Amino acid sequence: MKKVFTLIVCMTFAAIGFAQDSTGVLTPPVCADTWFGLIYKVPSMFESEQFEDIKYSLTSDTIIGDHTYRKLMQNDTICVGGLRQTENGMKVYYYDMVAPSNYPFSHMDCLLFDFTANVGDTIDAYFREEDIHSDVIHGEDFVAWVVLDKDTIDGRTHIKVGKYDTYGQGPYYETTWIQGIGTCNVIWPDEYGLPGKGWINVLYTLCALHGDEELYSYNLPEFFRIENNCTEWHFTGLDDIQADDSNIRKFLRDGQLFIETSLGTFNATGQQIE
């Protein structure tokens, strides 16, 4: 199965960092303005896995308090937050517009990325630890991000950061900030940081684009059996189903995709259900 997305060209935010061209002039790297992603709903007992397409795009400016942000739209319909950066482009800030107001990292200007940081630095940046119920998972409070590694790949700074608990144990969570691109979870720091979707859903980035130019593509977990061809993808688990195409019927039931063939009915991951 393949799902083909229609790309909507959106305005970009200013570059996050700079690179030198052949004349030695500092020029900004091309930055993403559109992200295609995949939401994986963690199955509970007697449920099948569910996958949902999702897209984020940067659009018009909005003023919140003392700052101007670029609106971050989800599926062209919901504004989930705003992005802004410092004048030198090395720090990016996020304003969350959808998290509950009693969360400490919501409805306030929060540092998202800091590309001036070096290995060993501690950075108090956006994490939304309440969203992942860290007290249930580990029973520990988390301190700021610690920079574990820093590298330049294809002209973009990659900073690997990790979260440790208050006793210095860990890292329990790691992610990589990529200059002008984001993270493997769109722009958020870890797989649980999906605003407005609940903690049982995990967000993965398929690819980041500027206009119709693909800037970066991510690998998905192998157990999904999904081939990512940004902006097209399909379930490789269905490749093993041998049946006459004329007898194949695809349909949705309760938000899940099913494929009915002469051999039976299969869910999106190739598991036979009927």
Reduce the secondary structure of 220-259 to three states and give it as a string: CCHHHCEEEECCEEEEHHHHHCCCCHHHCEEEEECCEEEE
Range of the domain at 29: 3-118+179-239
**Residue 169 domain flag:** no
Residues 27 and 103 in one domain: yes
pLDDT level of residue 183 (50, 70, 90 thresholds) = very high
268 and 228 part of one domain: no
Number of domains in the chain: 2
Residue 25 domain-assigned (yes or no): yes
Structural domain contains residue 139: no
Q: Are both 102 and 12 inside the same structural domain?
A: yes
- What's the pTM value of the predicted model, to 2 decimals? 0.75
For 127, list phi and psi in degrees, rounded to 5: -145, -35
Q: Which of 138, 139, 140, 142 minimizes the C-alpha distance to 126? A: 142
User: Does residue 80 sit within a domain?
Assistant: yes
User: Could you tell me if 260 and 185 lie in one domain?
Assistant: no
Does residue 247 share a domain with residue 221?
no
| Residue 108 located in a structural domain | yes
Q: Which amino acid is at 220?
A: L
Burial zone of 124 (CB within 10 Å; 0-12 exposed, 13-18 middle, 19+ buried): exposed
**Are residue 14 and residue 87 in the same domain, yes or no?**
yes
Is 89 found in the same domain as 14? yes
For position 53, what pLDDT does the model report?
85
pLDDT band at 237 (very low <50, low <70, confident <90, very high): low
Q: What are phi and psi of 267, to 5 degrees?
A: -85, -175
Question: Is residue 82 in some structural domain?
Answer: yes
Of the listed ranges 26-35, 40-49, 187-196, the least confidently predicted one is 187-196
Position 246 in a domain: yes
Instruction: Tell me: pLDDT of 181 over 90.
Output: yes
Residues 263, 212 within the same domain: no
Q: Which tens digit of pLDDT belongs to each residue from 244-272? A: 444 555 555 665 667 766 667 777 666 77
> For residue 90, what are its two tokens?
């090395």
